[in-house]
Amino acid sequence: MKKENAFQSDLIVEIEGLFGRDVIVVKNDANYLQGIPDLLILHPNGWAMLEVKKSANEPYRPNQEYYIDLFDKWSFAAMICPENKEAILDELQHALRTSRKTRVSQR
């Protein structure tokens, strides 16, 4: 099993590969705001946040579930780990390939 930081680094490269020049991935500082998801993904059609875990069994830290739920209501947010990576990346692609106006009208 990869360590979380190695999985996160590989994940950033993979996200950049999926979206090409149309994406910026920012690593957030958990010391600044406790529980904020690890990655902010910026795209012309919107934004997303991902909390990176090394496995599906990793416990959430304080406020992580709160922020994932909040940001998923606002745009797209999820916990991603090796076990659900493909499904979450598919959802991320769908969320960011669809225009924001279309997503809002579907809610």
What CATH number is associated with residue 67?
Answer: 3.40.1350.10
User: Among 18, 23, 16, which Cα is nearest to 42's?
Assistant: 23
**pLDDT tens digit sequence for 27-70:** 999 889 999 999 999 999 999 999 999 999 999 998 999 999 99
Contacts of 69 (CB under 8 A, 6+ apart): 77
Q: Is the pLDDT score of 105 beyond 50?
A: no
Q: How far apart are CA 61 and CA 91, in angstroms?
A: 24
Taken as a whole, the chain contains a residue count of 107
- Total structural domains in the chain? 1
78 - beta bridge partners? Answer: 50
Q: How far apart are CA 26 and CA 22, in angstroms?
A: 13
Q: Which domain holds residue 80?
A: 4-106
Mean pLDDT, range 9-28, rounded to an integer: 94
Q: How far apart are CA 81 and CA 63, in angstroms?
A: 18
Instruction: Supply 42's token pair.
Output: 């910026």
